[in-house]
A and B are shown apart, each in its own frame.
Chain A
């Protein structure tokens, strides 16, 4: 338990991404509305956002990993009420921005348009300051976490060996070799 504590501590100390339920110590009761918080179109919308953040290339993307549905569960069950509020307001904002900038529903945008729209939000989020996280930080971190802990992300984009059976602390590495999922 000491080592886990340490790793967690180092993660926090070195500013590694802390995702979802760990963002804040939750002092407020969850809405606990479960999956009912999200409709099927909501999940499709989350899938499109996730796919824009981590698209299919020569390796699978967020949709291949079914990210939207898992993100919905995470937000419903692991976010506290303030986080959920930020998240949902953010989704509304993205929809409105699609209309405003392209005169279309987000779901009807081309991949390039979605990339353009969310890239701007990514820049905006990086410059945002204040006690509460920008909604796009939540979206991006949740996407990364859900994708890289999925079977597709961990085994087809990263590498994972369930039972390594041995240890080599001096493994040659060349640029392009994939990272371990864990």
Chain B
């Protein structure tokens, strides 16, 4: 680490997936970088306190207690509240928010952010994803195209380590992959049958995931050990996180300073130069305020919190904050909608089982409104799912109690298969977040108010997400197939996007084609806030590529004296 100082070449706000990438890229290019994290430090491996615990080591066997539920009225809505990851999600009593409409916001306020907790599914947006807004007259056009991002996808995939197959599908561009985590025998069977159905338009493929199937010794990372305990932090470094991957590289350059417990309260704006001159930091432990100055600022605080920082910045010039001159700051909230899909049973494989616990399942890429297909809604959805044999959790209705029950449950049950759609949400100006200055967090800072919902396009799409799921599983040979279309509120996908979107025109977008804030070109935002549309694929890989691209551009521009 460098000696503590107040001036840096670059400040990176947030240490999650995109912030870690920004720190890595900028330090590797020789910049002195200050990485600010609002929460506590978590050290790689040493900080993963539950990584080697077993089910029986938890007093409540990984269930949430009533006390935990009282503390987390939002988290308790989902699987996210449990004993093994408790403490890895933001405290709701300290950091409240307002729900004008229900919004399930799951935040990781600690070093590494949600890179420690993410689902790791890693897909590229396709060419049509970047063109759809323009062609359909939705929101605004992306300022970039697939070809602009493709080399950066290559670059981040090689470093992060994405395991998957090159499936040769236009809808899901292939990348630079380590060997895939294979389908099991039942998934393989369904995949084969599916090739002969629906005119060959639907494909069940191996999930592409940021877990390494081969070691990366140059990063001190061991290949996946098939424990399926990723969310506890991997002591083998087998999945991509800030701690396992980007942070060690950034530290090694000698150019990085990391400051935890640092809440960035605003970007400091120089109205004469029309540039940021740094950031203001509130030390969350001492309540002291500091100014740190820099030539450039990367906001990577997660979509909504990067937006929050902008809303709090330069308010003497723009009431709505830096970037609000477009009228779009805080608008166009997107996520992916899920919890609609299908499940069934597969017969004929009672002589088959599996060994090991994969860190991924299968993926079925989008097929709706693709090729010749045309629906009464726009865009589409992909499915994520898995097949497995039932365990002791199954009901054994015909069995009562006693030795027969125990013996039956000691053996695996029927093969089942299930999947949920992940649907694209259209950018809509009326889906928005704003500052509520009447509600304050633990540090006296105003909080966000959420006002977003699924609209008609998504609600129509969800019918297909259920029915197509049923049709696919039946075509795949499943029996007793059922569908579901359950409750889904924005936030549930944990893919918040769009609140400081990229665009071609400062009048209708917050960021330009290199993720620079139009009104302060030395401020870059490369997290989910930048997304102009959501696609239906998991977005983190795209944030990585956008970050690496923007960082390269920023360093070049600095050298040329353009910033």
Contact = CB atoms under 8 A, between A and B. Distances in A.
Partners in one complex: yes
A9 B56 contact: no
B409 A148 contact: yes
Interface stretch (A36-44, A89-97, A169-177): A169-177
A181 interface: yes
A55 B181 contact: no
A77 B66 contact: yes
13 contacts: A1-B80, A2-B494, A9-B418, A9-B486, A10-B416, A13-B343, A17-B395, A55-B403, A57-B407, A154-B55, A166-B226, A169-B185, A180-B391
Contact of A167 (B181, B351, B389): B181
A174 B418 CA distance: 24
Contacts of B413: 179
B144 to A, nearest CB: 26
Interface string A41-54: 00000000000111
A171 B354 contact: yes
B66 A29 contact: yes
Contacts of A169: 182-185, 187-188, 354, 358
Contact of B386 (A7, A8, A20): A7
Interface in A5-21: 5-11, 13-17, 19-21
Given A126-B397, A144-B392, A180-B391, A74 B61 contact: yes
Interface in A87-131: 115, 118-119, 122-123, 126
Interface in A56-83: 57, 59, 61, 70, 73-74, 77-80
A17 to B, nearest CB: 5
Interface stretch (B113-121, B293-301, B448-456): B113-121
Given A26-B76, A74-B60, A164-B356, 13 more contacts: A9-B420, A14-B418, A29-B66, A73-B60, A78-B60, A118-B401, A154-B54, A169-B183, A176-B411, A179-B409, A179-B410, A179-B411, A180-B391
B70 A151 contact: no
A34 B355 CA distance: 39
Given A10-B343, A17-B395, A55-B406, A162 B227 contact: yes
Contacts of B420: 5-6, 9-10
B119 to A, nearest CB: 4
B232 to A, nearest CB: 12
B56 A154 contact: yes
A1 B118 contact: yes
Interface string B463-505: 0000000000000000000101010000011100000000000
B352 A16 contact: no
Contacts of B183: 169
Nearest to B56: A151
Given A32-B66, A146-B61, A6 B355 contact: no
B155 interface: no
A146 B61 CA distance: 7
B59 interface: yes
A25 B77 contact: yes
B65 interface: yes
A173 B352 contact: yes
B226 A165 contact: yes
A78 B63 contact: yes
B511 to A, nearest CB: 26
B305 interface: no
B175 interface: no
A25 B76 contact: yes
Top 9 A-B residue pairs of the complex, sorted by shortest distance between their CB atoms: A30-B66, A169-B184, A10-B418, A2-B119, A164-B356, A167-B356, A173-B353, A179-B412, A149-B55
Contacts of B228: 182
Contacts of B360: 3
A163 B418 CA distance: 26
Contacts of B412: 173, 177, 179-180
Nearest to A53: B401
